[in-house]
Amino acid sequence: MTERNEAAAASELTSSRLLSEGKADVARVRERKLRRRLLRALLLVVVVGGYVDLRAWRHQSILPHLPPNADIWLPMVLWVLMMLLLGAFVLLPMTAGRSPHRVIRPEEIEIGLDGVRGLDGQVDEVMRTLDVFLGYRTFREVLGGNPRRGVLFEGPPGTGKTYLAKAMAKQAGVPFMFVSASEFQTMWYGMTNMRIRRFFRRLRRLAAREGGAIGFIEELDAIGGNRGGVAGTPGVPAAGLGARAVAPFLATDTSGIVNELLVQMQSFDEQGRGRRAWGRLVEWVNGYLPAEWRLSTPGGAYHNVLVVAATNRASALDPALLRPGRFDRKLYFDLPTKRARRELVDFFLERKAHEPELDPDEVRERLAHDTLGSTPAMIEHLFDEALVVALRKGRRAMEVADVYDARLTEEIGLKQPVTYTEDERRAIAVHESGHATVAHLLGTGRRLEVLSIIKRRESLGLLAHAETEERFTRTRSELEVSMAIALGGMVAEELFLGESTTGPGGDLAQATAVAATMVGALGMGGSLLSFEAVDSGMLQQNLVSKVMADRDAKRQADALLKAQKVRARAVLQANRDVVEALRDALVARDELVGDEILTVIRDTLARREAVPDASTADGDAVIVLPDVETSVE
């Protein structure tokens, strides 16, 4: 067992001892709950015992005497109770029509819009919406406008849609009615529509009493899917006697549910109970009056309601829901930029225990850069997992190493120590060293983070590398380098082992995907035709399949891959000493992190300068090679 494994085992032992000694919060809470249960039981015993002792002291029977004729009316009472219970069971479906919402008052919400981080563009748009919402009378009566009724939040999970909606309610100071769209659905036919109606009715009443209310529907696509079919799943019509037989009992009418939602979105101005009663009275009076004397009936009262819905599948929604007067304003929640991620890093670290080494700006800038592609929820989860790592090591605050340990575990998987044979261990080390060498020598602007031969998930080893700057576009040269890096492992096996193993399978798939994208979508393979424009009907084929199905495109992609393999071979052949040094370091230490990788490479290059023939047999120490021609005519 290596020193690293011994340290990990010691940290796990420390964590287990911490839990076994009852220092964890779960143990304290469990003990407190147990004491409360015992106290309640003791109180019950004291009360019952006191009652028995009191009646015994008064020479009275413990149970009170039944009144006369009890044997006549007591069975009747029991029979009535049984009938009531049976009636309640029969009427159970009617109770399923209650709205499943939860009302959250603004004072219950912790953070308003000023506390939201990483969503500057969305917050600005929401503020403009709230300006109209709070000044709806001026907007209607003075400006003659119609306030916005519905806003749709669209974006990947964890990007802050629900969080921003709650902050809206806090900022506006109005009640917030939260409901998940799936909670509307019931097994009883028609009850889903009734739940939707009652949700909006409650929303209107709250708005009338509080001056305004915000309703939030999570995962709107659960009830707002495209009405492509007659019943059931959107686009799939019901068929057969079984479907017709089940229909009266089960809520499978998707079209009816969407229709109900559309009607409710346009019924905010319906009359309340008082106006309806007054309208009936006016109609009755008008029945006895001539046409010129008839009174005007009251119109519907305006309800200051804003409905916010969230989904990560806006394309699946029925188009009618997105028309004016419904969810006509869409806000897209994209993955946060580096600036937004820096704000999120600062925001979360303020609330989590951490060591001072996480406070410098350069450290937090590095964290913001390394969390590229992460949502706000993922960044917070990363810090939570870092705290778990710190606790496992017997500490109560996270360090920088804990954060990157947690990041590696989340993105790649837990370590799964296995016993390799010596030949297999050496082969995996050669493979990963080939990747690292090509990435360092050809991948300009890239940083090597982790080089490992420890098994994680399906991977027997790995090279984790990232760009030093956040970028949103790629040049042709950069795409070609990514293919060369992916093929570096296979080339290293052929150079140092004489043949390749099954290890490069995933690398070939990755390189093939890049080549297919260059040929089929980016016009970098000799043809300007885009396979992305090909419509394959209901089922869209992926780009790789389209390219592989075309003979010319397949030939172009294969030529790109072969050219980059030649390029990787030239680099590794000229820098065999770098591959060997990384291989030996991996065999000895299992894993190299950050500067440990660069140290091995720099030491090797330093020795090469001292001994000119250290890398190749003919004495040529080639570090930077001219690019291999990769164009495909």
CATH architecture, domain 422-610: Up-down Bundle (1.20)
Q: What is the pLDDT of residue 565?
A: 93
Per CATH, which fold does 338-412 belong to?
Helicase, Ruva Protein; domain 3 (1.10.8)
Q: What is the pLDDT of residue 17?
A: 53
CA 412, CA 175: separation in Å to the nearest integer? 43
Give the residue carrying structure tokens 């393999």: 565
Q: Quick check: pTM over 0.75?
A: no
Q: What is the pLDDT of residue 384?
A: 92
Q: DSSP letters of 383-414? A: HHHHHHHHHHTT-SSB-HHHHHHHHHHHHH--
CA 582, CA 572: separation in Å to the nearest integer? 12
Q: What is the pLDDT of residue 300?
A: 62
Query: What is the DSSP code (8-state) at residue 158?
Result: T
Q: What is the pLDDT of residue 41?
A: 87
Beta-carbon contacts of 232 under 8 Å, excluding residues fewer than 6 positions away, are 238, 243, 252, 254
Q: Is 185 exposed, middle or buried (0-12, 13-18, 19+ CB in 10 A)?
A: middle
Q: What is the pLDDT of residue 625?
A: 35
| H-run or E-run covering 309 | strand 305-311
Per CATH, which fold does 102-234+249-268+300-332 belong to?
Rossmann fold (3.40.50)
**What are the residue ranges of helices labelled H in 271-337?**
273-286
Q: What is the pLDDT of residue 89?
A: 65
CA 414, CA 8: separation in Å to the nearest integer? 13
Provide block-wise average pLDDT over 10 residues at a time, the chain (633 residues). 47 48 61 84 85 72 63 74 75 64 81 81 86 84 84 87 86 86 78 84 85 87 73 40 40 70 74 69 77 71 84 85 84 86 90 90 88 86 91 88 86 78 89 92 82 83 79 86 92 91 88 92 86 56 83 91 93 91 89 86 85 48 35 32
Q: What is the pLDDT of residue 516?
A: 92
Strands 213-218 and 305-311: parallel
State the SS3 of 192-234: HHHHHHHHHHHHHHHHHHHCCEEEEEECHHHCCECCCCCCCCC
Q: What is the pLDDT of residue 513?
A: 92
Q: What is the pLDDT of residue 437?
A: 92
Reading the block at residue 584, the tokens are 């030996």
